[in-house]
Structure formats: C-alpha cells, structure tokens
Amino acid sequence: MRPHSQTVKQKSSSDTEREFGGALGAVSITMFLPLTVLYLICVSRSPEASVFHWPPAAPVTEQLWDPLALLLLLAWIALHALLYLLPLGKVSEGLVLRDGTRLKYPINGFHALCITGVLLLLFMGLGAPLGCVFELLLPLAVCAIAASFLFSVCLYIRSFWVPAHALALGGNTGNPLYDFFIGRELNPRIGSFDLKYFCELRPGLIGWVVINLGMLMKEAELRGSPSLAMVLVNSFQLLYVSDALWNEEAVLTTMDIVHDGFGFMLVFGDLAWVPFTYSLQAAFLVVHPQSLSSLGAAAIIALNGLGYYIFRKSNSQKNQFRRDPSHPSVARLETIATATGKRLLMSGWWGFVRHPNYLGDLLMALAWSLPCGFSHLLPYFYVIYFTVLLIHREDRDERQCRAKYGLAWDTYCRRVPYRIIPYIY
C-alpha cells in the first residue's frame, strides 16, 4: 500500500514551521527527558535528595528492571483500555475536523477513576501491599519510557498509511526526527478507540494518584501512619486529577487534542512524564519526612483552595462561553468580535489576565511543594518545570490565536496586557 502522505504535494506554512527548537530540539528533548525522569526518581530517594549531586547516592538495592513492573504496567493499560470501552457516561463530539467530520469520544474517565478506586480498595482489603510501588518505581518508570518509545515508533509508522487530511498540520515537515517527536497523525484510532484521547487523561493521570497512594502506604508502613504533609500532597493532587476527569469533555477543545499530532512528545508526556515526575513530592516524603504545623497546613490548604478556585472558575467560564455564549452566566460579559465569527471574552476572568487558568494552576503547583518544606529543591521541581511549560505553552497559544484572530487578538492584548500574573507577566 502506498503511504497517503507521499501524495501531499503542497505543504501549508504550518507544515514546515518548527517548534521546540526544530529537529535538534526534538532529538535533545527525546534523549534528555527520559533520563531526567530516572534521575529525579533516584534523587528523590537518595539521602541528600540533591539535584546537583551526581551520581545520586541511591540505595545499593536500587534496580532498573523487574519483570513484575512490566506485568503491572501492561495490566494497568489493559484495565484502562477496558474501562474506556465500557458503555458508561455520555458520548461527546469533538470539534469539526478539516474534512468537515466530527469524532465521537466516550466521556467516562471519571467512572474509570472511581472504578479504579474501588478495585484498589478491594486489592488492599485482600492484603495487596500497595507500598511496594515505592520499590518498583524505577523499574515501572523504565517500562513506561520503553513503552513510550515503542508506541511512538508504531504511531509514526502507521501515520504513513492515513489520508493527508488526517495528519496534524505541524507534524508533517518531512524531517523524520522532528515529525516522530511532534506527531504526524492528529487523531490515531483503532476502530472507534482514540489512542491520543485515551492516553491524555487516563493511564498516566490516574497512574499518578495511584503512585501517590503507594507512597502514602509505604510511609504508613515505615512510620505507623502517613504524615500530614503526605496526606496534603495526596489530597491536593487527587482533587486535581478528579477535576480533570470530571471535566473530561473540556479536553476535547485543548491544543493537545485539536492541534498537536500524537507523537513522542504527547505519548511520553502522558505515559511517563506525568505519572513519574508529578508524583515526586510524595516519593520524596517517604524518605524525607517533614513536620508541618497546623497553621502552616491551613495556609497551604488556603493557597491550594485559591488556586483551584481561579483555575476552575476561569476554565468553566471559557468553556461555557464557547459552548453557549448566550448562557446567563456569560451573556453579560464584554466580548470582541473576530473575523472567524467566534468572539473573545474581554471581561470576567479572561479580562483579568490572558491566561487566568494558568495562574490558578501555578498557585496550586506551589501549594503541592510547600508541604515538603524548604530544605530541598527537588519537591519544587514541579512548580519550576510547570512555570517554564506554561510560559512556553502560553507563547504557542498566543501565536496560534494571533494567526487565527489577527487584529481582534491585538485589540484583546492591548485591553488585557498581562499574560499570566497581573502587573508582573
């Protein structure tokens, strides 16, 4: 069979436009980030927990490979594929694609989280030692990274057999290294099973909270009960994951689903980076217990609450506006017309800064690190990395909005000059 994409004769400008530093950036990220995941896990369990200490003084028992880890990873992905296929929840349509069609997506991620919770309780009731996730963390990460590479290669190869309109505009540059990284096919599917949508919020995101729970159980095993810091980190992050899955439909309009192809960047991000680096605070607390005063805990809870409030309210306001601009909750907001027929919000949360949802997310990120104290940099890895990610994401989104909305976007930027933090950025 002849690969369809070879028949694409004319490339649009976005076909050749390169992000993330082009092919060199793509190769460097592909090599560097998996090693970073493994390094950070080693650092989190070393006595010094110093990101600047090489090699990290990990316990001698540390091992990279364990067949049990591979078995658990495969069982985990199979479980979530099964839960994805269960006829629970509603089915939603995505945005209109370039060929004028719309894909259907099952909105049952929150069901998957709840069923996973029940299954875990059952297993723990039967005596399954969830704390062993702590010992298996490194082999699990190795398997997730290997699976990400393998899966991305398969996705790259299969993308040569799909029609040209099914390719992501930005992932079709012709440079194999760059396209492998950024993703060629927009919505790879096996039948009605959408591989990108499945990976985006399920195995990795739910895996993250299960790893956290494993760390909590390990701490309880070692010290008799989990610490307040560990309970806070687990609760905050469980709230974040539950919120993402409760509002799963919103992912259908995100850059990841609408714009980006499904390549190594998203596969690795979803399956390895999120579960294994977002759980670093919990992993750190197992080896480096922290005492937290009630006042300190109350202040951190308030910060997380404030961040969550800004994050949720702003995201909901935009989603509501995009779904139904005449809804009473958004009908009175000031807006500006654009040449595309869509309007942009100019008041409310989106008149405060241009990305109020990122501001809320960053406040929460800080609240997740603070329970780990101030003695180490490692627990602040997430908030530092996330700031860089959101600044870069904001920049990408800004360029896409300027291309989409032209003059109207410039007017919006003049009216709302700050991007994420009022009067600062």
Point out which residues bind ligand NDP (CB under 6 A): 254-255, 311, 315, 318, 321-322, 342, 344-345, 350, 355, 357-358, 361, 393, 397, 400-401, 412
Minimum distance from residue 271 beta carbon to ligand NDP (Å): 13
Minimum distance from residue 386 beta carbon to ligand NDP (Å): 7
Contact (Cβ atoms closer than 8 angstroms) between residue 186 and residue 96: no
In the bound state with ligand NDP, the residue whose beta carbon lies nearer, of 75 and 255, is 255
Q: How far apart are CA 259 and CA 353, in angstroms?
A: 23
Minimum distance from residue 340 beta carbon to ligand NDP (Å): 8
Minimum distance from residue 284 beta carbon to ligand NDP (Å): 19
In the bound state with ligand NDP, the residue whose beta carbon lies nearer, of 223 and 392, is 392
Minimum distance from residue 322 beta carbon to ligand NDP (Å): 5
Per the listing, tokens 């919006």 go with 412
Which residue has its beta carbon closest to ligand NDP? 357
The conformation of residue 6, written as its DSSP 8-state character, comes to G
DSSP letters of 324-340? Answer: -TTSHHHHTS-EEE-TT
Minimum distance from residue 245 beta carbon to ligand NDP (Å): 13
Angle subtended at Cα 284 by Cα 278 and Cα 288, rounded to the nearest 5 degrees: 160
In the bound state with ligand NDP, the residue whose beta carbon lies nearer, of 18 and 322, is 322
DSSP letters of 218-249? Answer: HHHHHHSS--HHHHHHHHHHHHHHHHHHHTGG
Q: Which of 120, 141, 142 is nearest to 129 (CA)?
A: 120
> What are the Cα distances from residue 228, in Å, to 48, 66, 212, 284, 292?
22, 32, 14, 14, 7
Q: Which residues contact 395 (CB under 8 A, 6 or more apart)?
A: none
> What are the Cα distances from residue 423, in Å, to 16, 363, 394, 419, 420?
36, 16, 17, 9, 9
Q: How far apart are CA 17 and CA 344, in angstroms?
A: 26
Minimum distance from residue 269 beta carbon to ligand NDP (Å): 8
Phi, psi values for residue 337, rounded to 5°: -80, 150
Minimum distance from residue 316 beta carbon to ligand NDP (Å): 10
In the bound state with ligand NDP, the residue whose beta carbon lies nearer, of 178 and 386, is 386
In the bound state with ligand NDP, the residue whose beta carbon lies nearer, of 156 and 380, is 380
Q: How far apart are CA 216 and CA 243, in angstroms?
A: 21
